[in-house]
Chains A and B, each alone.
Chain A
Amino acid sequence: MDTNKNTYTIIYATILVVIVAALLAIVSLSLKGVQDTNVEVEKQMQILGSAALAKDAKSAPSKNKYVQDEFAKYITKAFIVDAQGNVVEEFNSDIVKTEPFKISPKEQYEIMKKIEGGDESAKAQLKLPVYICTTPDATKVILSCYGQGLWGPIWGYMSLSEDLTTIEGILFDHESETPGLGAEIATEKFQSQFNGKTILKDGVVSPVKIVKGGVKNPENEVDAVSGATVTSTKVEDMITMWLKYYQPYINAKK
């Protein structure tokens, strides 16, 4: 057969592409469930991580199940807060399936940027997730944050004391910060500095400052990652920005 004829070439290409496309579509559809669960479990683990829970996830026989169980056990409540600080909707069970958990911090970050750009009407769209974590010893309020790092997105969860005045724990993650420098924000060493810092002083939210060359005011300052000035600044910007939008809620709660 002459494989160089035009008709043969066109038919060959068409059939090949259709077969490959069909095959990939089937695989993608059949694996989607498992992949979505992985993304969900990752988020649950980070929320728990900010409250220093689910520490044994790596050694658990089934990581997904362990994290899901811990999440269901400790995260007892979740709700959405609007730009005025009102609680819009509250959920008490099956948090993973509810709206606060499904909110994408990235989308909220885009809305915040719109507001910062002067578009006041965007404020109505703002939906901030809040999680309540109840352990036998204490109740913690977990807030979300998301921003731009040096090379890609950075995000995290802040776990605050019940009266919303101090940080009890914090967790950051990043997509592509420089290993050994900016990526250090995801380490215990950097994050543990935030424990016990005050964010509410005399009724005013004053976010933690990340400073270079030694902390002078230990109440709300932490040491920057050496050699990663930009990433450190971006982390501070991220916390400042999100706490600004959470402020009406924090004030109302107080």
Chain B
Amino acid sequence: MDKNIFKTPIIKGNPITVLVLGICSALAVTVKLEPALVMAIAVTIVTGLSSFLVSLIRKTIPNRIRIIVQLVVVAMFVILVQQILKAYAYDVSKQLSVYVGLIITNCIIMGRIEAFGLSEKPLPSLVDGLANGLGYGLVLVIVAFFRELFGSGTLFGMQVIPQSFYDAGYMNNGLFIMPPMALILIGCLIWIQRSFTKEDTK
């Protein structure tokens, strides 16, 4: 199996910074690291498994209803993830609220199934799905790291900026908590990445 199937989506073909897909949830769930990490894991599992399943049944899918079939498969995995989170990670599922359900509309998933799962063998599809989920998750976690650190002074809910800083007049930056800051941070990430890979940009 070609190693690039796994490597490309993480940096070079990253779904968020290069393909600019899945931005909506990246804005919403990156205020704190914990929900961002759970979201990243959830999306990785859903992209991987749905790509795998669609690829497994790809020869039987009637062409005219293939988008509907893909949607059913994706929706099934999303609801499974949602139910399991509600049962075993209730606090996180509350923080993620509607965004778990909205994984269905995450363009990365449908995009990868259409572009890869529908035409390739199951195993490479699984790897491609997982890698795209990881690429998405990587950006989410980086953004959430900065937003939580500067917005709340914590990481994973633990205080990291010492109290003496606050006593000396340091304040949490409220802008980092607001959604626009996620967009600015993603913009910065894209900028940094593009400046290293000039030859790829068209």
Contacts and interface: CB of A to CB of B under 8 A. Distances in A.
A31 interface: yes
Question: 3 closest pairs, A vs B, by CB?
Answer: A38-B90, A34-B87, A9-B62
Contact of A35 (B72, B73, B87): B87
B19 interface: no
B64 A13 contact: no
Given A28-B83, A179-B31, A180-B177, A3 B63 contact: yes
Contact of B69 (A16, A23, A35): A16
A20 B76 contact: yes
Contacts of B90: 35, 38-39, 42
Contacts of B62: 3-4, 8-9, 12-13
Contacts of A28: 83
A176 B86 contact: no
B68 interface: yes
Contacts of A180: 151, 174, 177-178
B80 interface: yes
Given A3-B60, A28-B83, 14 more contacts: A4-B63, A4-B64, A8-B62, A9-B62, A12-B60, A12-B62, A13-B65, A16-B72, A20-B76, A24-B79, A31-B86, A34-B87, A180-B151, A180-B177
Contacts, number: 60
Given A17-B72, A23-B76, A180-B151, A31 B63 contact: no
Contacts of B88: 34
A138 interface: no
B119 interface: no
Interface of A: 3-4, 8-9, 12-13, 16-17, 20, 23-24, 27-28, 31, 34-35, 38-39, 42, 175-176, 179-180
Contacts of A9: 62, 64-65
A117 B137 CA distance: 49
B61 interface: yes
B115 interface: no
Contacts of A34: 87-88
A86 to B, nearest CB: 36
B160 interface: no
Contacts of B151: 180
B65 to A, nearest CB: 6
25 contacts: A3-B59, A3-B60, A3-B61, A3-B63, A4-B63, A4-B64, A9-B64, A12-B61, A13-B62, A13-B68, A16-B69, A17-B72, A20-B75, A24-B76, A31-B83, A31-B84, A31-B86, A34-B88, A35-B90, A42-B90, A176-B97, A179-B177, A179-B178, A180-B174, A180-B177
B26 to A, nearest CB: 16
B177 to A, nearest CB: 4
A103 B59 CA distance: 52
Nearest to B90: A38
Contacts of A4: 62-64
Nearest to B79: A24
Contacts of A17: 72
Contacts of A23: 76
A179 B18 CA distance: 29
A29 to B, nearest CB: 10
Nearest to B31: A179
A178 B64 CA distance: 44
Contacts of A35: 83, 86-87, 90
Contact of B83 (A16, A27, A42): A27
Interface in B68-124: 68-69, 72-73, 75-76, 79-80, 83-84, 86-88, 90, 97
Contacts of B83: 27-28, 31, 35
B58 to A, nearest CB: 10
